[in-house]
Each structure stands twice: as structure tokens, then as C-alpha cells.
Amino acid sequence: MCGVLGLILGHVGDDPDAPCKAAVALHEALYFLQHRGQDACGIATCAAGGRIYQCKGNGMAAKVFADGMRVQDLPGSMGIGHLRYPTAGTSSNAESQPFYVNSPYGICFAHNGNLINAPDLRQYLDTVAHRHINTDSDSELMLNVFANELNETGKARVNTDDIFHALGRMYERCSGGWACTAMIAGFGVLGFRDSYGIRPLVLGEKESETLPGARDYMLASESIALRQLGFSNIRDILPGQAVFIQKGRAPVFHQVQEPKAYSPDIFEYVYFARPDTVIDGISVHASRQRMGYKLADKIRELLGDEVIKDIDAVIPIPETSNTSAASVSERLGLKFCQGFVKNRYVFRTFIMPQQGARQKGVRRKLSAIQTEFEGRCVLLVDDSIVRGTTSKEIVAMAREAGARKVIFASCAPPITSPHIYGIDLASPMELIASGKDRFAIAKSIDAEEVIYQDLDDLKAACAELSPPNGPTEFEVGVFCGKYVTPVPEGYFDHLNSVRGTKRKHHAQISSSGPTIVVGGSQIGTNGSAAHLGMLGGKDSLETVRNGAVSPMRDDISIHNLANEPERR
């Protein structure tokens, strides 16, 4: 799971009064999507003459962009942005996005999702397309497949139809779920979505602030980023659909591939998306309300009225479950209270890349209000239970605060299978529900009871809110092992191998970020932005990778402004 952005201003060309206007808006939008990825982020912009500028690196937006200071180094009237949550590949700075290839035409690329045929694509790019891949990221694979197809035109300059035809051929080669934005230097901005509609992407527009009659257009993973920046007429990019916005022109839509389904990932509604977002016409907030009502009915069915009467309070695990917990409280006629205080200055523990960090992060993130637990039987409501480590820590905190009984309810069904479309949940052996019933899980996390949402109820909570021609089915493979796309033979072995490599990968080489990590320690930190052809000048650092000594270097294709000293 990642966040992607794309923006093209109606006022084309470098505005001397506001040369970094596109970067300013993209930078602001990063903060509205920060929940989608806290591992790395970046922005690439295009200025006069097709010159591309970029700033990217490991860390959250405030760190990478030096609290906004770097934005002044990113001129241009169009650009794309990215926030990374690591899935396949490593957490190296070299894998921060947007990615860039100079041939053909200068393409920048931001990707949200996961390709399930990455080994085949890597072999194709090596043996047939003869394109070099510099990272372990499947996003770089997709970019190079697209670039290679676009190169087949043999033209000095391409048009919109060429771009859509190249995309169509790329869709034939790639399998998985994705929502992407791309920028072609000096030409325009592109957005497209997989043929199953698994990952979200929306487009909005607004009047130009500097050129009367012109329109600005913006793409984002979630509608909230557009709405907060004043964009309206927000529409979803549909399954298999692409949109290209050429500078100075209106968007052009094209059905790149016929829809194979309309099945958004239901985890967007359960956990990942912000509650003030609307995805495929379905309000995330309203869907979570319905999840709570249906979960309350399941609790009553399993526990009975006598046990429910013994419950003193319904307490959400902040913040994703707040809405659902309020609905549970309302439906069961129980007191609702905020028993946990969330520290807003720490990461979301679920998307921390390492298990140890997640466990330590729970108590750093949450603390119990003792008066809300002392002597009480509490019903804790969370969005989901994945590994169970977070849930166990939360139950322990409730008991330490004096709870006499703890009942734990999950708005999602038991997670029994890996996620394969861009969310690194866990391997099957790490999933607490793999091979266990709810009673064994309750014992594992030290709760009196554990109650899960039914899968049919979860799907109904979203489908009942779907507009005409909206989705009625959802990607729910993590709950039942049945995925919306065909899964290549041997893919799960490959996925487990990649995850194992990530955990063992202590020495990382950085080619485009503000830090280099060796054995878990950071060496050298600074942050900034720059343009093509400004490489080098730094003293060489050395790091060990696979037993070989390699020099640290800037990005091999385009200079990264995040490596320069900050401007004060």
C-alpha cells in the first residue's frame, strides 16, 4: 500500500511569481496521504524545456522535505508524488519514488500496488527488452515495461494515442493490482488503474489561480487530498481505465483494457483509507458505521443478552475503529468511552516494517486511562487482528489498568492468507488466525472472548452503500484465500522468499536518498532537491553489500535534491 499523486496546472510554463506552485500543492497533498506510507516519499516536477527536478528519500514528508524548505527547489507546472509503504523489495533509499527513466522521452513514475508476475517481468526485461533494473522494486519493473512499449513507436515525439496503446501492451504483460501516476517530460501527466479496480485512484479539477479560464487537474489515491486542496468534480478512474492530461488541454480518458471485475480491496474501507475519503462512490466513514452495526449483531448472537448486560463499556482501539465502535455501542445499548489515548507523534504500528518495532510501538502509541478500566468488563473494538502481537499488548494494558474482563471484537473476519496486491500483512505462519479458531486466539491474546465479523457482513457493509454502476464485489483474498486475479504457480513461495530476504537484509546501499543504512545504523543525514546533469562532488562512502565493497553514489539517472545541504 502506497499513496500516489499527479498534478498539472492550467498555467503552463514557469511562473516567475510562483515558480514552484505545482510542488507546493503536491507537498501539501503528501500530508493528507501520509497514513498510506511512512517509509519514504518523494516529488518529481517538470519545468521549462522538459527539465525534471526531484526530491525523495526515506522518511516522512516533513523529514524528506525539511519541513517544506525543499519545495522551493522544485520548479515546474506539473509533477507527481509518492508515499511508500514497503512491500516487495527492500526499504532502501534507492527504492523511494518517483522512479525515472530517461529513455524514451523522460518518464517519471509513481506506483501503488504489487505485481504478482515480477520474476517473469524481470526475465523479459533482461533477455528481450535489454533494460537494466537497478532495484528489487516491482514498481521499477512496471515503469520499464511501459517505457519499452512506448519506445516501440520509434517516434521522436509521441501523442496521446501512442501512450494509451503502449499502456494496453503493458497491461497484457503485467498481472496484479495497481494505481499509478506518471509524467512524460514536457508533455503531460498520466494516471491509470488495474483492470480489477483493486487499488484506488481519483481525479479532480479546479480553476487556475493565476490564469483566468484555465483548469488545474490533480490525481490522488484518496479523494480527501483533492477536496482539501479545493478540487471538485472528483471522479474515480475506473477499472482498466487511463487518463492523460496534456499541458494546456482537458483530460482524455481511454479504456486501456476491458474491466475484468470491479473489486476494490476491502481493506481500504476496513483500515487503510481515511474516514473522510470516498472510494468508488462508497464513503469510508459510512462503511465503518455499517461494519459496527453488523459486528454488534454478531456479538449478540454469540454472547447472548446476559453476557452483554455484564459489559460496562465499549472502547475503541484508536483511531481506525472509532466509528465502528460507536456503532457497536449504539446497537447494543452500551456505554461508549475513549479508554485509550493515542500519541499522535509516532508511526502507525501496523505499517512499521519490523515486528520488534511494532511491539514496542504499541505502548509508545497507546496508553490506557485507568479510570475507564478499573473493575470493568470492557468490550474492545479494533479494525482487525493480524499477527495478534498488537492485540495482546492492548489486552495486557487493559488488564494493567484494572479491567476485570476483556472481550475483543474485530471489524474484519479472521485473516488467514497473505495479501498479494500491495499490502505486506504477514506470512501465513505469522497470522494468528492461521490454523486457530476464535477460542484459541482468545487464549493467545489473554482475552475472555474474541469475536470476528462475518465475511458476508463485511462485504455487505460496503456493497449496500455502493452507487449505481459501483462495485458490488470486493477483493477479500486475505480472509478466504480466493483472490480476484489468477495467481501464478509458485507465487506464494516467491513471496515468502522475498519477505525472508527483507528481514535478513541488514546492509543496504542507497543510491538516491538522504541516508545510508548499514547494519541498522544511519550514516550521514541531510535532505534536499536538484536537476538533470548535476551529479557528483561528494566524498565517497563505502558500504558492504553481498560481501562486495561498493561506493555510495547519487541516483544513477537524475540528481536528487535531497542530497544537498538545506537552504536556510
pLDDT in tens, 109-162: 999 999 999 999 999 999 999 999 998 899 999 999 999 999 999 999 999 999
Segment 200-207 shows an average pLDDT of 98
Q: What is the pLDDT of residue 331?
A: 98
Segment 49-60 shows an average pLDDT of 94
For the segment 482-501, what is each residue's pLDDT rounded down to a tens digit? 999 999 888 888 777 766 55
For the segment 354-367, what is each residue's pLDDT rounded down to a tens digit? 555 555 678 889 99
CA–CA separation, 450 and 405 (whole Å): 12
Q: What is the pLDDT of residue 537?
A: 35
Task: Quickly tell me which residue has 522512479 as its cell.
Answer: 99
pLDDT at 425 over 80: no
Q: What is the pLDDT of residue 359?
A: 59
Q: What is the pLDDT of residue 542?
A: 33
Segment 377-385 shows an average pLDDT of 97
Nearest to 529 by CA among 26, 2, 40, 44: 44
Q: What is the pLDDT of residue 514?
A: 33
Q: Residue 365 to residues 50, 511, 521, 544: CA-CA distances in angstroms?
A: 44, 32, 23, 34
Q: What is the pLDDT of residue 517?
A: 28
Q: Residue 252 to residues 66, 192, 217, 291: CA-CA distances in angstroms?
A: 36, 12, 12, 37
Q: What is the pLDDT of residue 55?
A: 96
**Residue 472 CA to chain centroid, in angstroms?**
23
Q: Which residues of 54-73 are buried (b: 16+ CB within 10 A; e: fewer)?
A: bbbbbbbbebbbbeeebbeb
Among the residue ranges 376-380, 433-437, 456-460, 497-501, the one predicted with the least confidence is 497-501
CA–CA separation, 134 and 132 (whole Å): 6
Q: Residue 510 to residues 58, 87, 135, 199: CA-CA distances in angstroms?
A: 10, 18, 10, 28
Q: Higher pLDDT residue, 567 or 120?
A: 120
pLDDT at 555 over 70: no
Confidence at 423, pLDDT banded by 50, 70, 90: confident
Q: What is the pLDDT of residue 558?
A: 73
For the segment 496-538, what is each residue's pLDDT rounded down to a tens digit? 776 655 554 433 323 333 322 223 333 333 444 444 433 333 3
Segment 188-215 shows an average pLDDT of 96
Phi, psi of 567 (to 5 degrees): -90, 130
Proportion of the chain above pLDDT 70, given as a percent: 84
DSSP 424-492: ----GGG-TTTT--HHHHHHHHT-SEEEE--HHHHHHHHHTTPPTTS--S-B-HHHHS--SS---TTHH
Q: What is the pLDDT of residue 516?
A: 27
Confidence at 60, pLDDT banded by 50, 70, 90: very high
Q: What is the pLDDT of residue 509?
A: 29
Find out whether the peptide bond into 119 is cis, omega within 30 degrees of 0.
no
CA–CA separation, 269 and 278 (whole Å): 9
For the segment 288-332, what is each residue's pLDDT rounded down to a tens digit? 999 999 999 999 999 999 999 999 999 999 999 999 999 999 999
Answer yes or no: 2 catalytic: yes
Q: Going by C-beta distance under 8 Å and a sequence separation of 6 or more, which residues neighbour residue 38?
A: 60, 83, 85, 347, 348, 351
Q: What is the pLDDT of residue 506?
A: 36
DSSP 511-532: SSSS-EEETTEEE------EET
State which of 92-106, 161-175, 539-553 shows the largest mean pLDDT: 161-175
Confidence at 428, pLDDT banded by 50, 70, 90: confident
CA–CA separation, 505 and 159 (whole Å): 43
Q: What is the pLDDT of residue 347?
A: 59
Question: Considering the entire predicted model, what is its pTM?
Answer: 0.88
Mean pLDDT of the residues in the chain: 87
Q: What is the pLDDT of residue 362?
A: 87
State the pairing for strand pair 366-368/340-342: antiparallel
CA–CA separation, 158 and 149 (whole Å): 12
pLDDT at 69 over 70: yes
CA–CA separation, 182 and 257 (whole Å): 18
Dihedral sign for Cα 275, 276, 277, 282, please: positive
Q: What is the pLDDT of residue 520?
A: 32
Q: What is the pLDDT of residue 499?
A: 63
